[in-house]
A = this chain, B = another copy of it.
Amino acid sequence: MLFDLDGTLIDSVYQHVLAWREAFEALGIHVPNWRIHRRIGMSDVLIVKELSREAGRPFNADQTGKVKDLHTRFYLARTKELRPLPGAKELLELLKTKSIVYAIVTSSSHERAQSSLEMLGIGPDIHVVTLEQASFGKPDPDLFFAAMKQLQTAPGDCIIIGDSTWDILAARRAGVLPVGVLTGGYPEEELFRAGAYRVYKDPADFSENLDELGIHI
């Protein structure tokens, strides 16, 4: 199982949204929160490219670097607000007990993911793939390919669990079965339309329905 982190295991999407809003505003662009929300889960570069272009002010490399750094700073200032999503820790413990191999695969940098990983009790025995380990973040499939290489597994033997359409698209591009969760605030309908095989409320709901995925526990 390949898990997205933000919005899937950790309740951090709303903090990311406000951190981006603040960052864009510092560079003179007003981007409404709902538009940012729909981009969360993408790589930083794509978020900046799309939102600055939509606002009619496409950023150059220098501005892109600045807004990314500001987002990281404003987000890290909010990490004390983060909490694990319902059932997230219990799910990971269950998988461990049942020897079901999993990894964490995030478009976030290692720096930004750190506190979330600690909060979930994820130790060095678990593979964690962050932005540093691939050329492109989601919805490119590279991060998932890197994870499967580390786990020495094939797309047909994996499931990708994520909260955004960018996870679903990356999963499909990687040839992996995508499963959605509602915990990022993404519309259920969009996750299904993007190709999610099933959409669960949260990690607890996912955990209770593992049999629907053909998993014997």
Q: A4-46 interface mask toward B, CB cutoff 8 Å, 1 = contact, 0 = none?
A: 0000000101110110011000000010111001000000000
Contact status A30-B81, CB under 8 Å: no
**Copies per complex of this chain:** 2
Residues of B within 8 A of A22 (CB): 81
> Which of A91-99, A127-135, A186-194 participates in binding chain B?
A186-194
Residues of B within 8 A of A175 (CB): none
Contact status B37-A185, CB under 8 Å: yes
Query: How many angstroms between the C-alpha atoms of A185 and B190 in the bound complex?
Result: 13
Residues of B within 8 A of A199 (CB): none
Query: How many angstroms between the C-alpha atoms of A135 and B15 in the bound complex?
Result: 34
Select one of B14, B21, B34 contacting A33, CB under 8 A. Answer: B14
Q: Does any Cβ of B come within 8 Å of A183's Cβ?
A: yes
Select one of B32, B81, B185 contacting A34, CB under 8 A. Answer: B185
Select one of B21, B32, B86, B188 contacting A32, CB under 8 A. Answer: B86
**A14-B14, A17-B14, A18-B18 given; A184·B83 CB < 8 A:** no
Select one of B21, B81, B183, B185 contacting A185, CB under 8 A. Answer: B185
Select one of B21, B32, B83, B184 contacting A202, CB under 8 A. Answer: B32
Residues of B within 8 A of A148 (CB): none
> Could you write out 5 A-B pairs with CB less than 8 Å apart?
A14-B21, A18-B81, A30-B83, A187-B188, A189-B189
